Homo-oligomer: A and B are copies of this chain.
Amino acid sequence: MRLVSRVAAAGEYHRSMDTPARIKLADVAAAAGVSVPTVSKVVNGRYGVSAATTEAVQRAIDELGYAGNLSAAALRAGKTQVLGVLVAEFDPFAAELLKGADKAARGSGYELLAHSGGFTHGWERRSLARLGGTLIDGAVIVTPTVLDGDMVVPVVAVDPHFGPNRLPTIDVDNFDGTLQATHHLIELGHRRIGFLGGRSELDSAQSREGGFRHAHAQAGLEVDPTLVVEARYQAELAATITESWLDSANPPTAIVGANDVSAIAAMNVAQNRGLSVPADLSVVGFDDVPDAALATPPLTTVREPLHDMGAAAMQMLLDRIDGNSTDTHVRLPIELVLRDSTAPPRPGRA
């Protein structure tokens, strides 16, 4: 007997040295002299507890600093008043969306949890399965690549890489983006324009190429097939393709990148060859990531309203959860941001 209690005391002493005891419902119940379920009712504001008891429990809660255990509550109740924003990684794109989503969620009665699922294939599905249904009551998923069928919880996708037909979606008019960008170059006088395409299996990439082609058609221009190559949104590929174009007998005077990364890579290649951007080569990007404005020269590009997209996605999720949802697709406007990487072609080279 004596021994046991001394051991216990030692254990507690040790614990208080590093990790203090996590106070739980049972501790509060003991302190208030009531049962565990009663405390639970008070915590969750359920009816059927006397004012006196409520007050006693509340005092115990405050004194002990009880804050609950999300995992346990989630597991049991199946809902949590927490919404998730699921991303592959916290990159600039995702961070911006997150800010918008946070703002939209404010005051909704839901807390926000953002989760980065890593780069592995199928992160969308895995994150959703691991968190959905217990930890989070719904999710905004950012740029999912694969995600089919019914979900365990309400889900809204932002800029999914597979048309807006499968999931409630927030996206931008990718077609219109490259349309404007290409139109801008044509208006400056460019006639040979290269297109560094995205990942052709993705919906967004196809739309962006479509806009590029349509701008040419509108202007009565032919698209040289050798000037439309798939750079798969990657810097290295974009650089290689740009090299080969500039090596050719009849190089383009301007390039449209399907994303900023490709466009910036193209600028670098040109500049490393002693060419001037935009005097010798004009370049336009897509996305307007922070790097675009910081590039030398600052990159003309198509801006997506990231902040608004995050807010719109969260709002749509909230609507779906409340049940008063009708929208299934919101498309936000893009905007061509003119900076210093575009100019008329050199005389005689157009």
Binding site for B on A (CB under 8 A): 16-20, 22, 65-72, 74-75, 89-92, 95-96, 98-99, 101-102, 106, 111-118, 125-126, 129-135, 149-153
Contacts and interface: CB of A to CB of B under 8 A. Distances in A.
Q: Which 3 A-B pairs have the closest CB atoms?
A: A67-B129, A90-B102, A95-B95
A75 B71 contact: yes
Pick from A89, A95, A106, A135 the residue with the most CB of B within 10 Å: A95
A70 B16 contact: no
Given A111-B115, A115-B113, A19 B69 contact: no
A98 B102 contact: no
A30 to B, nearest CB: 18
A227 B87 CA distance: 47
Per assembly, the copies of the chain total 2
Nearest to A82: B115
Nearest to A119: B106
Contact of A129 (B65, B89, B95, B117): B65
A115 B112 contact: yes
16 contacts: A18-B150, A20-B150, A22-B152, A65-B129, A67-B129, A69-B134, A70-B134, A71-B134, A72-B134, A90-B95, A90-B112, A95-B96, A102-B116, A106-B118, A111-B115, A135-B135
A116 B111 CA distance: 7
Contact of A75 (B72, B125, B133): B72
A340 B269 CA distance: 32
Contacts of A72: 71, 75, 134
A252 B92 CA distance: 39
Contacts of A89: 102, 106
Contacts of A131: 70
Contact of A20 (B18, B68, B152): B152
A72 B134 CA distance: 9
B74 A129 contact: no
B114 A90 contact: yes
A31 B106 CA distance: 43
A130 B72 CA distance: 10
B70 A150 contact: no
B74 A71 contact: yes
B111 A113 contact: no
Most chain-B Cβ atoms within 10 A of its Cβ — which of A112, A133, A153?
A112
A272 to B, nearest CB: 27
Contact of A19 (B96, B125, B150): B150
Contacts of A111: 115-118
A65 B150 CA distance: 13
A82 B137 CA distance: 19
Contacts of A115: 111-114
Contacts of A114: 90, 98, 113-115
A111 B74 CA distance: 19
Contacts of A106: 89, 118
Nearest to A116: B112
Contacts of A113: 113-115
A129 B64 CA distance: 12
Contacts of A153: 19
